[in-house]
Amino acid sequence: MDDLARTSPEHFFSDRFNVTPSLMERLLGASLAGRVDDADIYLEYRVNEELVLEENVVKKASRHVSQGAGVRAQAEARTGYAHTDDISLSNLEEAARQARAIADRASTSGVLAVPSRGRAHDLYTLAEPPIVAALERKLELLRKIDAAARAADPRIAQVIASLASEEIVMLIATASGWTIGDVRPLTRLNVTVIAEENGKREIGSWGGGGRVPFDFFLEDERWTRFAHEAARQAALKLRAVEAPAGTMTVVLGPGWPGILLHEAIGHGLEGDFNRKGVSAFAGRLGQKVASELVTVVDDGTIPNRRGSLNVDDEGTPTGRTVLIDNGVLTGYMQDRLNARLMKMAPTGNGRRESYAHPPMPRMTNTFMLAGQDDPEDIMRSVSNGLYAVTFGGGQVDITSGKFVFSASEAYLIENGRVTAPVKGATLVGNGPDALLRVSRVGHDLKLDEGVGTCGKDGQSVPVGVGLPTIRLDGMTVGGTQV
């Protein structure tokens, strides 16, 4: 467990693989420079550990190491990408040759890449990264969670507690002579329970984490809250009524319901879809796409958050991009390729799942800024509707703009009061008009607990979302109660 970078990424890769920044630069220069518009070499070393406690005992313990290099060459809109899991000079040369082959197929545009510059942030330097924390302490925590969840409710029949820890060391060299590295810790604790009563079973789940040390879970007894929340979710569903179906007013609680922003507008504002003109938001910069109460940002610079990065996976420092400013569309999220082709600046949103994948524009932490309203007042303003506080996943069709997300904890609102819990219901809407329906914004902005993973084109990356309490008028709720 002590095999990770406690030195800089530059030293890590040169000590371990004899691949130095100057060698990477030479490779880029020799193989790629002058014949392409942009090129980079990305080195990655990753260790994952997963511990799973089930039926009161540690059932699963696993540890995985992956390493590799991805070489990319770009000319105009074309990308050649080759990767290898054997980091050696000869393999890197071969990968560079393959990546260039595509870029050589036609003359280049002569538009040079925007050079990556600026300082990397320092958002998650940890005294003790989660991957190196003592195994016995981790196992002890999982056992305590099991006991806490069972003690929370006698109907809890099954507890699955899992702790995943990861550390990535990356180093990127770009054709513009910029080499930068990052060491990225990440951890996530998850509690899933099954509650049983009179032959009825329900599932409840809660979790959290971030680029934080293992002790994060012990602070303020965070782990107890996760266990209790999971138990509460499952018990609540045992008495949930059928969800309503049809159009109604929906109040979203603070925090994780920010997944609405991720699906309704976030993906549609990624540079690639807009460059290609296939997003429902293409060509709409400067237009009103949301209520004037709405300001949405994507911010990769919040310390210790799951979606944060010191630099993105192309070496560009992350930033805070205002996507919607008081209802007006103001920005897209860009990687280097799409920024270059759209003649915009890269925003630090070029991300990749691993060395085996070329970067794409992706979100980091996407949230709506707080408004003025008291959340209690917002609730009281609704005579009949749905109050949704926790969600499962969501999905969007960026071209038609239609999106869905599934509530896992929701209640009926009757005469301004929260009443019966309802079974899982899917909310469906249209991205370009969903945020026009926002009629109240609370002052209680909250970021999520740190569990989000976003999938796009087969690549998964950790992300964050956030939301204050908001009221949406005329949303479609997909229940079974007509």
Partner 1 sequence: MSGETVRPELLTDVLGRARARGATEADGFLIEEQHFSASVRLGQVDTVKHSREQRLSLRVFAGRASAASSTSDLSRASLERVVDEATALARVTAEDPHAGLPRPADLITTVPDLELEDRGGEELTPEAKIELARQAEAAALESDPRIANSEGAECWDRRARYVYATSHGFAHGYATTSFGLSVSPVASANGQMQRDYWYSAARHRAALDDPAAIGRTAARRALRRLGGRKVKTVDVPVVFDPDTAASLVRAIAGAASGPGLYRRASFLLDRLGKRIAAPTVTIVDDGLIPRALGSRPFDGEGLATRSTVVVGEGVLESYLLDSYSARKLGLRSTHHASRDGAGVGVSTTNLILQAGPTPPEELIRSVKSGLYVTELIGFGVNGVTGDYSRGAVGLWIEDGELTYPVEEVTVAGNLLEMFGAIEGIGNDLRLRDRTVSPTLLVGRMVVAGN
Residue 345 near partner 1 by CB under 8 A:
no
If one asks whether residue 399 binds partner 1 (CB under 8 A), the answer comes out as yes
Q: Which stretch binds partner 1 (CB under 8 A): 18-26, 342-350, 375-383, 388-396?
A: 388-396
Among 6, 30, 77, 303, binds partner 1 (CB under 8 A): 77
Q: Which is nearer to partner 1, 78 or 225 (CB)?
A: 78
What's the Cα-to-Cα distance from 31 to each of 72, 84, 96, 183, 383, rounded to whole Å?
11, 17, 7, 28, 67
Query: Going by C-beta distance under 8 Å and a sequence separation of 6 or more, which residues neighbour residue 171?
Result: 9, 10, 12, 13, 21, 24, 42, 43, 179, 180, 181
Rounded Cα distance, 233 and 409, in Å: 7
Q: Does 78 bind partner 1 (CB under 8 A)?
A: yes
Ranges of beta strands (E only) in 231-285 are 245-252
Closest CA to 163 of 130, 193, 185: 130
Residue closer to partner 1 (CB basis): 204 or 253: 204
User: Which of 105, 117, 137, 380 is the binder for partner 1 (CB under 8 A)?
Assistant: 105
404 binds partner 1 per the rule CB under 8 A:
yes
Contacting residue, 2, 122, 136, 220, with partner 1 by CB under 8 A: 136
Q: Min. distance of Cβ 49 from partner 1 in angstroms? A: 9
Decide: is 241 part of the binding site for partner 1 (CB under 8 A).
Answer: no
Question: Is 41 in contact with 92 (CB distance < 8 Å)?
Answer: yes
Rule CB under 8 A: choose which of 145, 163, 169, 243 binds partner 1: 243
CA distances for 259 relative to 183, 253, 332, 381, 406, angstroms: 27, 11, 18, 23, 10
Distance of CA 2 to the CA centre of its chain: 28
Residue 27 is a binding residue for partner 1 (CB under 8 A): no
Q: Does 150 bind partner 1 (CB under 8 A)?
A: no
The DSSP H or E segment spanning 99 is: helix 89-103
Closer to partner 1 by Cβ: residue 196 or 325: 196
What is the closest distance, in whole angstroms, from the C-beta atom of residue 245 to partner 1 in the complex?
4
Tell me: does residue 35 bind partner 1 (CB under 8 A): no
Out of 178, 226, 332, 403, the residue judged to bind partner 1 by CB under 8 A: 403
Pick from 13, 426, 69: nearest CA to 250: 426
Are 389 and 409 within 8 A, CB to CB? yes
Binding mask 192-231 for partner 1 (x = CB under 8 A): --x-x----xxx----------------------------
Binder of partner 1 out of 170, 189, 280, 465 (CB under 8 A): 280
CB 10: neighbour CB atoms within 10 A? 17
Question: Per CB under 8 A, does 432 bind partner 1?
Answer: no
For partner 1, which is the closer residue by CB, 393 or 416? 393
Rounded least distance, CB 210 to partner 1, Å:
22
Say how far apart CA 309 and CA 351 lie, in whole Å.
Answer: 10
Dihedral pair phi/psi, residue 304, rounded to 5°: 65, 5
- Please say which residue, 114 or 139, places its beta carbon nearer to partner 1: 139
Tokens of 9: 């990424």
